[in-house]
Amino acid sequence: MSKTFVVTGTDTGIGKTVFSAALVQALDAHYWKPVQSGLEEETDSELVARLAGAEPVRILPEAWKLKTPASPHLAAQIDGVEIDPLALVPPQLERPLVIEGAGGLLVPLTRRITYADVFARWQLPTILCARTALGTINHTLLSLEAMRVRRIPVLGVVFIGDEVRDSQAIISELGMVRVLGRLPKLDRLDTETLRQAFSAHFDMDDFVGEKA
Ligand SMILES: Nc1ncnc2c1ncn2[C@@H]1O[C@H](COP(=O)(O)OP(=O)(O)OP(=O)(O)O)[C@@H](O)[C@H]1O
Ligand SMILES: [Mg+2]
């Protein structure tokens, strides 16, 4: 059976989709964004398709596409629909699958259920994306605590941004977590620069080998 990874983050807008695109490209994987809030700008699925060079067939359709760019629980309410978190079930596929949540772990899908509840039910290797910029130590350690309390399997942390050696080290030490790598901010972001950055900064064995 092919491997499925969950990509979450410490916050919204930190680079989860860009990292997911890199992983999709490296693993020749499928991508699934179960709940997309906001359809005016390029959606996460469209960004992954553009950056990973993924054929449309490898981008799975969203389970809920919500018009309002807000937390899914509110976007759904405004759109007049209700998200059923139990209906979110990762499909079994021939190739690996990368699933991206929305925002951070405790983003509500309904007024009662957060993404973290869904990740806990899934029990899939979960990657926490974190900035390297100021504020990241607290956000990342809090997110790791939230994952551990709920017994969400933590594959490791991925940093996004310029190298900040001490922040990265202290997160790894205090958070007792493996650092899978760091995706630098790319001045030109396209399929080729992303492919090169992933291969220079990550070890495929962390995603396909014994360690994964
Ligand atoms: N490694 C990077 N190099 C250059 N630009 C980046 C990188 N990562 C993210 N960005 C920029 O930041 C924007 C936001 O990143 P991204 O969409 O990946 O965030 P996100 O965490 O997935 O947000 P959301 O919570 O909305 O899903 C991207 O559109 C891109 O312009
Ligand atoms: Mg995203």
Domains along the sequence of the chain with CATH: 4-208 (3.40.50.300)
Q: Cβ(14) to ligand 1 under 6 A?
A: yes
Residue 54 clears pLDDT 90, i.e. is over it: no
Residue 211 clears pLDDT 80, i.e. is over it: no
Q: How does pLDDT run across 10-22, given as a tens digit for each residue? A: 999 999 999 999 9
Query: Which positions ≥6 away from 100 have C-beta within 8 Å?
Result: 6, 7, 8, 16, 17, 20, 31, 32, 33, 44
Q: How does pLDDT run across 80-109, given as a tens digit for each residue? A: 999 999 999 999 999 999 999 999 999 999
The strand pair at 97-100 and 4-9 is best described as parallel
pLDDT at 1: 61
Residue in 17, 62, 183 to alter for ligand 1 test, most ligand atoms within 8 A of Cβ? 17
- pLDDT, mean of residues 137-165: 98
- pLDDT, mean of residues 114-139: 97
Residues 135 and 4: their CA atoms lie apart, in Å, by: 30
- Which residue has the CA at smallest separation from atom 10 of ligand 1? 15
Residue in 12, 18, 196, 201 to alter for ligand 1 test, most ligand atoms within 8 A of Cβ? 18
Say how many Å lie between the CA of residue 16 and the centre of ligand 1: 6
Residues 128 and 9: their CA atoms lie apart, in Å, by: 5
User: In this structure, what is the dihedral angle of CA atoms 98, 103, 105, 107, given to the nearest 10 degrees?
Assistant: -130
Query: Which positions ≥6 away from 77 have C-beta within 8 Å?
Result: none
pLDDT at 134: 94
**Type of residue numbered 193:** T
pLDDT at 87: 98
Six token digits for residue 187: 């001045």
Where in the chain does DSSP place strands (E)? 4-9, 30-32, 35-37, 64-66, 97-100, 126-131, 154-160, 179-183
Residues 44 and 56: their CA atoms lie apart, in Å, by: 13
* Measured CA angle at 44 (ends 134, 60), to 5 deg: 135
